[in-house]
Amino acid sequence: MTERHKHDARQRRIRRAIRRGVFPSAESASGARSAAFQRRRFLATLDKPMVAAVLLLLAIGSLMVFSSTWDWSNNTYGTATGFFVEEHLRNVVLSVTALLIFAAIDYRFWKRFAFWLLLLTIVLLVAVRLFGEVKFGAQRSFSGGRFQPGELAEFATVLYMAAWLGSKNTRVDNFFFGLIPFMIVVGTLSGLIVSQPDLSSAAIVALTAGVMYFVAGANIIQMGAVGGLAGVVSVIVIESRPYAQQRIADFLAGFSDVTLSDYHTLQAITAFLRGGWIGVGIGHSEQKFGALPAPHTDSIFAIIGEELGVLGAAIVVSLYIVFAIRGFQFARRAKDNFGSLLCVGFTSWVIVQALLNIAVMTGAVPSTGVPLPLISFGGSSLLVVMIGVGLMLSVYRVATRRKSTAERRSDIANLDRSWRNRRARLSRAGDRPSAAAGPR
């Protein structure tokens, strides 16, 4: 048999093997290589400092949720890990999966759903007042407290404000086409949340939306007037809520004598005093055994202070600082106003929650029911925060992709929107030629 015949026979055997599926064809091998490249590219375009900060906060939160619930779980489920495994780890796995999905999808895809999500949120806020469960004197949740429309409202506010304020034809500094629609949207959401009642979530919605409106280029005089009006409304709401008046009275009394502070704040301060600089050790907290209310949610920072000490609390605060720095850097690098405002909104939302929770635990503000984001136990609260982080990572991924020459020229040609023309107060990466192409 000649060499030519041997070669032809070998090629026929290879083709038969391919048809039988013995080994992959060149096309399938090429597809596998392409899929592996896409996976490597996805991981390479994730921002490492942001991902590290989020994962560390989740790890600390999981550790402290287990530490603060093992005794209650043992009495309820018959095992110390029952609640932790069945509830918290399930929520963490679901939330991390949601983060990866939303980070992989171009954030601009979700802009078209902003209005419909806002509309759905308003419907749910009305429904929870009619059919919701009453817990601790408030009607704000469904499904045994696992889903609270007020938490969805915080997310929907950021997404809708970013889509609306980031549109090219939005006249942010105009009284009739900017301020009035802003007040209607925020007032509607805040009013429905206050009626539950949930003053802390309403405050978070208003503060986050206010930051986004300011960054988008709001008129400073109009913002001052809105702030004054919000103050007047807040006083009226507090006067109509006896429990809110009592919290403020206890808070003011605590300035002269800390023992006169409200029970929650007093127990949190006791936890910090017991913890000292290095803490009493993981699992050795005494305040979690009935003294601190909700030790795995609203009071978890006090448990951190007791078991990990000032050092552990400082590490948590440092991780939130990293989160804030990277979030606002994402906003500056974004390719469009929608992406910039998304990052500003979600970063402000997480930091406002963290500041409120930490301030309550340290006695700096009156008591509120705000969980510590990414650390406290939660179902819907953890999920919506992680989706928000996923959208921020998507903004970063899109901004760091290598741009074509035409895109870079278009971005460089954009003028920096400064304070003088009362437009966006955050410049974009495209405004700086050196950052246009992102990291190499």
| Per-residue pLDDT reduced to its tens digit, 426-435 | 554 444 444 3
Lowest average pLDDT, out of 20-24, 130-134, 205-209, 382-386, goes to 20-24
Asked if residue 32 belongs to a domain, the reply is: no
In the structure, what pLDDT confidence band is assigned to residue 257 with cuts at 50, 70 and 90? low
The more confidently predicted of residues 403 and 333 is 333
**pLDDT score recorded for residue 414:** 45
Report the amino acid identity of residue 338. F
Spatial distance between the Cα atoms of 95 and 100, rounded to a whole number of angstroms: 9
Average pLDDT in the chain: 79
Residues 262 and 226 in one domain: yes
Asked if residue 173 belongs to a domain, the reply is: yes
Residues 164 and 183 in one domain: yes
**pLDDT score recorded for residue 137:** 65
Residue 120 confidence (pLDDT) above 80: yes
In the structure, what pLDDT confidence band is assigned to residue 439 with cuts at 50, 70 and 90? very low
Asked if residue 33 belongs to a domain, the reply is: no
Residues 274 and 409 in one domain: no
Residues 232 and 280 in one domain: yes
In the structure, what pLDDT confidence band is assigned to residue 144 with cuts at 50, 70 and 90? low
- Other C-beta atoms closer than 10 Å to the C-beta of 49 total 12
Residues 276 and 411 in one domain: no
Residues 392 and 420 in one domain: no
Q: What angle do CA 38, 43, 46 make, to 5 degrees?
A: 125
Residues 179 and 308 in one domain: yes
Per-residue pLDDT tens digits for 344-401? 999 999 999 999 999 888 877 777 778 899 998 877 889 999 999 999 999 999 988 7
Asked if residue 21 belongs to a domain, the reply is: no
Residue 393 belongs to domain spanning:
49-403
- Is the CB of residue 175 less than 8 Å from the CB of residue 225? no
The more confidently predicted of residues 66 and 146 is 66
In the structure, what pLDDT confidence band is assigned to residue 104 with cuts at 50, 70 and 90? very high
Angular region, 132: left φ>0, alpha ψ -120 to 50, beta rest? beta
Question: Bridge-partner residues for 141, per DSSP?
Answer: 133
Residues 365 and 431 in one domain: no
Residues 330 and 340 in one domain: yes
Sign of the CA dihedral running 165, 170, 173, 178: negative
Per-residue pLDDT tens digits for 76-103? 777 767 677 778 888 899 999 999 999 9
Per-residue pLDDT tens digits for 258-308? 666 777 788 888 888 888 888 888 888 888 887 788 788 888 898 999 999
Domain count, the chain: 2
In the structure, what pLDDT confidence band is assigned to residue 28 with cuts at 50, 70 and 90? very low
In the structure, what pLDDT confidence band is assigned to residue 178 with cuts at 50, 70 and 90? confident
Query: Considering only CA atoms, which of 63, 48, 54, 47 is closest in space to residue 320?
Result: 54
Asked if residue 29 belongs to a domain, the reply is: no
Asked if residue 42 belongs to a domain, the reply is: no
Share above pLDDT 70 across residues of the chain, in percent, rounded to a whole number: 79
Of 59-73, 104-118, 119-133, 189-203, highest mean pLDDT? 104-118
Residues 373 and 413 in one domain: no
Residues 413 and 312 in one domain: no
Six token digits for residue 104: 């992989």
**pLDDT score recorded for residue 415:** 37
**pLDDT score recorded for residue 413:** 47
**pLDDT score recorded for residue 46:** 87
- Other C-beta atoms closer than 10 Å to the C-beta of 335 total 21
**pLDDT score recorded for residue 39:** 52
Asked if residue 255 belongs to a domain, the reply is: yes
**pLDDT score recorded for residue 360:** 86
Task: For the chain, state the CA radius of gyration.
Answer: 26
**pLDDT score recorded for residue 209:** 92
**pLDDT score recorded for residue 255:** 67
In the structure, what pLDDT confidence band is assigned to residue 7 with cuts at 50, 70 and 90? low
Average pLDDT over residues 8-29: 59
Asked if residue 43 belongs to a domain, the reply is: no
Residues 130 and 239 in one domain: yes
